A and B are shown apart, each in its own frame.
Chain A
Amino acid sequence: MFVTAAYAQQSTTTEGAEAHDAAAAGEVHTETGVAHEGEAGSGVFPPFDSTHFASQLLWLAITFGLFYLLMSKVIIPRIGGILETRHDRIAQDLDEASRLKGEADAAIASYEQELATAKAKGHQIADGAREAAKSKAVADRNAVEADLSKKIAAAEDRIADIKTKALADVGAIAEETATAVVKQLIGGTVTKAEIVAAVKASGN
């Protein structure tokens, strides 16, 4: 409602203003802009007024020609130079950066190489030590085992010796015992040879 009211008001006041203005301006200015006897010297619309065409063309040629020369000889080479310098500089910086990156990569690679070598060497040393320790342990065990088996063998020999000796003694004791026993029992005597045969027959 407000808007329409305002529009209505404006249109009426505008008409009023134009009427007032035209009255005030009188015969010097018309609203169509056709007649300007006092100012332009001709009755045409100012931009189409051909009286100044020659002067416009001449001054346009002079000023635009000068502008063109300034642009092509001074400004464009200068801005082009600035842009090219910057472009070169950026390219150079990028090259430098990639070179440095290459160097860093090489350093990393050599570092890793050295690290790997050192690791391998460490492994080797550890393996060597382990092998040595292992072989020493084996040798020690072998020596101990050999010693033990030698001692066992000696002991066994002695046992066997004692056993045979004992067994031999057992025959003699049995003979004596048998002789004595027989003597006590039967009062007779038995020859030594018979007793030995009997002891042997008893399964000794």
Chain B
Amino acid sequence: MSNDPTHQFLVNKIVPIEIGGIDFSFTNASLFMVATVGAAAGFLYLTTSQRGLVPTRLQSVSEMSYEFIASMLREGAGNGGMKFFPMVFSLFMFILTANLLGMFPYFFTITSQIIVTFALALFVIGTVLFYGFYKHGFGFLKLFVPHGVPGVLLPLVVSIEIISFLSRPISLSVRLFANMLAGHITLKVFAGFVTSLSALGALGIGGAILPLIMTVAITGLEFLVCFLQAYVFAVLTCMYLNDAVHPGSH
């Protein structure tokens, strides 16, 4: 294992696959995508298989995540947004499980890959655009024209709105990606201090206590960040979907 903090983000081919000259290899990232889906779906499936009227602890975890996302979406996008519930729920559970799996040592964190988070963000924005135009036609463009803005300021405000809309997929994906990447690099760097310091003898072992405490503390913080970033992604998805369901309501 290398001491290099970015080594953990390297993508390695496991099963080389090439279709039409493009590399579609099954990599360690692909493996952990499969693991994420398996873990999340397996957990939700197995914990709810009893269909208990009085839930067990694990069943109530599944029910709580369901109700958590349902109330988040209802508050964010109203009852009209509930048709997107499977999408928001899938996104939240996928990102949360991927983040948490990444906390295991030697596990690959798929949400630390910009292309993965960007694809998820584009999926959200694509859904917003598609549904917005499908449902409201060109009325969807009212989204960029806020109410009660004087005519003189309108071009400026509309251009700001458009820029803010276009920056959404970037901010949505970079937020998740950067949080996971930075967290894992920080952990790795502090943990690396511990090993390299303690290799220096008694004095080094004494000096390694501080980075060790930091590593433990940052691990706790990282678990919080894992949940928080999945939550933020889901909340923002709900907000953006609200624009598709009710354009011109803000």
Contact = CB atoms under 8 A, between A and B. Distances in A.
A124 B93 CA distance: 78
Contacts of A25: 3
A46 interface: yes
Interface stretch (A63-71, A142-150, A163-171, A192-200): A63-71
Nearest to A66: B37
Interface residues of B, number: 65
Nearest to A53: B115
Interface stretch (A7-15, A103-111, A114-122, A174-182): A7-15
Given A67-B40, A81-B51, A83-B63, A20 B90 contact: no
A68 to B, nearest CB: 5
Contacts of B94: 64, 67
A21 B196 contact: yes
Nearest to B67: A83
Interface residues of A, number: 57
Contacts of A30: 4
B145 interface: no
Main SS of chain A's interface residues? helix
Contacts of B242: none
B114 A48 contact: yes
B66 A59 contact: no
Contacts of A29: 2-4
Given A17-B197, A51-B23, A76-B86, A63 B6 contact: no
Contacts of A80: 66
B44 interface: yes
Contacts of B219: none
A33 interface: yes
B90 A47 contact: no
B130 interface: no
A99 B195 CA distance: 70
A67 B37 contact: yes
Given A20-B200, A74-B45, 5 more contacts: A14-B193, A45-B9, A49-B11, A55-B17, A68-B90
Interface of B: 2-7, 9-11, 17, 22-27, 29-30, 33-34, 36-37, 40-41, 44-45, 48, 51-53, 55, 59, 62-63, 66-67, 85-87, 89-90, 93-94, 110, 112-116, 119-120, 123, 177, 181, 193, 196-197, 199-200, 203-204, 206-207, 210-211
4 nearest CB pairs, A to B: A72-B86, A59-B30, A33-B6, A63-B33
Interface of A: 6-7, 9-10, 13-14, 16-18, 20-21, 25, 29-31, 33, 36, 39-40, 45-64, 66-68, 70-72, 74-76, 78-83, 85-86, 89
12 contacts: A9-B206, A17-B193, A18-B196, A29-B4, A36-B4, A46-B10, A55-B24, A60-B119, A64-B94, A71-B93, A72-B86, A82-B55
